[in-house]
Structure 1
């Protein structure tokens, strides 16, 4: 996993910048009930998406465990960002209307704990919105994918939709919606993908360790148009609702 304290200074420019952030924010907002008053954005990163989660009557708070990320985010959202682990949010039970976690669950081995904490802080009728199947979204049918897709271990992904759905069900949350958005600027090119493979960035995607990654990098190096980006990925968001309390 990357060191997000050191990654903070270059995160936005290497992750699609404003176009990708705006698309993500629009997709999150589409899954929030119209009565949503308070949204908590877990792992808000630099706040580039978080500051775009705006509509009348909506108050947004951001939390991130990495000091470098939170430092960037607080400049965009003064007074509305704090450092916190998504497993232990500094919030009372049943205190917020919505929780979002964009590009988080695929990074951690404790996705179930993130979902459990979201369920704890949600009010009845509130929703959790999360990205799922992030790595699979990068299989867009390009020549790069023809090399990488057969070797990807999607069954190991902590954000696999069926796994996240099972975590949600275990904590009383029920499916409530699906949305998609384009990862603008995230289309891969062979040279960059091969370089990341050699540096171990995609180690969690593949079995076989560094040697297997190096072999895949050599295959990528033989592709044409080494610096031409292929199609952008399309990411998937799902929402889970906490059922309202029914009178006895």
Structure 2
């Protein structure tokens, strides 16, 4: 959904299976927990989806909630997080100011054109000393060093991803969130194949790269289709988690 809006009501039924399942979720949850302050008591996981990551955000003394805007996603999440889910737009959370110790946004900011609004809302609901933890530079993490990367890199470089760290950091600072050391984790099962990359291209995933230029899109599809081992996954990506601390 980096470049086209997926129907997450329809995606819910097979989302976990196609997004790396439990190994990817455990890696993401473990990385988030490494960045949550030891004394934190509350964490809200934005765009929690099916709750596969959220239910693994477990630590003694930490109460974790999930929020998502899609009904179907939230129905699945509610089974994993009974009594701890809310349907909400990440830009308009039904929470008072300074009410949370931590907010996480895993694989969210790259999906939307309003990432600054999400950052601002997270800052509003965080207490002084609270943290926003978010994946950044997601698309740039894929296929690094592979033959797919060689073909896509020039287009990725020309694109303006909404989760670029050099954009998110000043947005955060403008709302009282200071950068702090982050971490990274492996996106298990997310190494791309040439054939799947062409499928994503044809479905509109990279639409913003071409602005309706079908000839260029066709040329990219042909280059990807000419790569060897069409169904062999390339190396799994290493996703980056940024951390921002709310000023007092």
Q: Does 1:76 align with 2:80?
A: yes
| Residue in structure 2 matched with residue 19 of structure 1 by the alignment | 23
SS at match of 2:12: helix
Q: Name the CA distance, whole Å, in 1 between partners of 2:113 and 2:135.
A: 15
Deviations 1:26-80 (A, max 9, x none): 0000011100100000100110000000010000010001111111111111110
1:232-243 aligned within 5 A: 232-243=236-247
Q: Do the aligned partners of 1:154 and 1:160 also contact (CA within 8 Å) in 2?
A: no
Q: Do the aligned partners of 2:45 and 2:67 also contact (CA within 8 Å) in 1?
A: yes
Q: How many residues align?
A: 244
Q: Name the CA distance, whole Å, in 2 between partners of 1:92 and 1:13.
A: 35
| Residue in structure 2 matched with residue 38 of structure 1 by the alignment | 42
| Residue in structure 2 matched with residue 156 of structure 1 by the alignment | 160
Aligned-residue RMSD, C-alpha = 1.2
SS at match of 2:16: helix
* TM-score, structure 1 as length reference: 0.95
SS at match of 1:230: coil
Q: Do the aligned partners of 1:134 and 1:235 also contact (CA within 8 Å) in 2?
A: yes
SS at match of 2:240: strand
Q: Do the aligned partners of 2:143 and 2:234 also contact (CA within 8 Å) in 1?
A: no
Q: Name the CA distance, whole Å, in 1 between partners of 2:213 and 2:53.
A: 33
Structure 1: stretches of 5+ with no match in the other structure? none
Structure 1 runs, 4 residues or longer, greater than 4 Å off: 205-208
- Residue 82 of structure 1 deviates from its aligned partner by 1.3
Q: Name the CA distance, whole Å, in 1 between partners of 2:119 and 2:75.
A: 25
Q: Name the CA distance, whole Å, in 2 between partners of 1:126 and 1:232.
A: 31
Structure 2: stretches of 5+ with no match in the other structure? none
Change over 3 Å in CA distance of 1:117–1:233 after alignment to 2: same
* TM-score, structure 2 as length reference: 0.95
Q: Name the CA distance, whole Å, in 1 between partners of 2:28 and 2:71.
A: 23
Match of 1:214 among 211, 218, 230: 218
| Residue in structure 2 matched with residue 93 of structure 1 by the alignment | 97
Q: Name the CA distance, whole Å, in 1 between partners of 2:198 and 2:106.
A: 26
